[in-house]
Amino acid sequence: MTNLTLTSEYKSFGGKLGFYSHASSTCNVEMRFAVYQPPQALQKPVPVLYFLSGLTSTEENFMMKAGAQRYAAEYGLMLVAPDTSPRNTGIPGEDDDWDFGTGAGFYVDATEEPWHQHYQMYSYVVQELPALIAANFPAQIDKQGIFGHSMGGHGALVCALRNPQLYKSVSAFAPIVAPMRSPWGQKVFSGYLGSNQESWRLYDASELVKQAKYHSPILIDQGTADKYLTDQLLPEVFVQACAEVNQPLTLRYQEGYDHGYYFIASFIEDHIRYHAIALEKSQ
Ligand SMILES: N[C@@H](CCC(=O)N[C@@H](CSC=O)C(=O)NCC(=O)O)C(=O)O
């Protein structure tokens, strides 16, 4: 494997789950990610589905808790889950808050010191990681989809809306769809991007969708018992933005579900099927 260290590997649903580390040229520090290769990948290259996790998560949470491998094996998709931030960078205070710094890279390219040198999660996810996947795994790199949860749902929407040619499908669980209006978003954008809110717009799905519609319908699941629903997630802002530009959106409010992985696991099959169909159809 070029430039990758395999740290552990497990057989799962006839396929292979591996955890990897590597020296990242984008984040200038060691980065980690997980890859699930379905059994079909033994015979031929398969489409790739990236999952971006939420605040405090690592590359492990999704693979351990979502129950996704069963469906990835059924539909023949490779799953890739990166860590949520650089770690152990030496930046003073990087571990002080659970919603800023370590575990909270927010999928932006930081422009502010001292974060700028390492916190380049947008470029890492969109450029360096897909290049590593293409070089080291049996991946159909022209068939990539992306999804995520909460902070990672925000990241997935931003990556897809800014790079519709790279991502043929996008979906999210309880995403932060209007970070410029949410306390989490305002805190991290101030720290990573500075006070000029023009630069924040590049990382706000509700702003981006108004600039350029996405080529395919977007799927979002949102629990009604999610404690972050009304102050942090603000799905109604995205609904309004999509309506303004006639962007097809399926937003499903799931009665009684909270923000956690029991919710994600309940609807993971729908999301994987949605991506499998879209990636199969894509050119
Ligand atoms: N520590 C926090 C709770 C953090 C939390 O709920 N993280 C979510 C994502 S929230 C938005 O991005 C998560 O996915 N956690 C990982 C998991 O495995 O559940 C607190 O004390 O409130």
The finding on whether 260 has its CB within 6 A of some atom of ligand 1 is yes
Give the pLDDT score at 95.
98
The finding on whether 56 has its CB within 6 A of some atom of ligand 1 is yes
Give the other-Cβ count within 10 Å of 14's Cβ.
12
Helical spans, DSSP H, in 81-227: 121-123, 129-136, 151-162, 183-193, 197-200, 205-211
Q: How many angstroms separate the alpha carbon of residue 126 from the centre of ligand 1?
A: 23
Rounded to two decimals, the pTM is 0.98
Give the pLDDT score at 96.
97
How far is residue 47's CA from residue 99's CA, in Å, rounded to a whole number? 32
- Complex prediction ipTM: 0.95
Q: Exposed, middle or buried, 51 (CB in 10 Å: 0-12/13-18/19+)?
A: buried
5-281 CATH: 3.40.50.1820
Q: How many angstroms separate the alpha carbon of residue 56 from the centre of ligand 1?
A: 6
Give the pLDDT score at 2.
67
Q: How many angstroms separate the alpha carbon of residue 211 from the centre of ligand 1?
A: 30
How far is residue 136's CA from residue 47's CA, in Å, rounded to a whole number? 14
The finding on whether 55 has its CB within 6 A of some atom of ligand 1 is yes
- Residues of the chain whose pLDDT is less than 70? 1-2
How far is residue 214's CA from residue 136's CA, in Å, rounded to a whole number? 29
How far is residue 206's CA from residue 239's CA, in Å, rounded to a whole number? 8
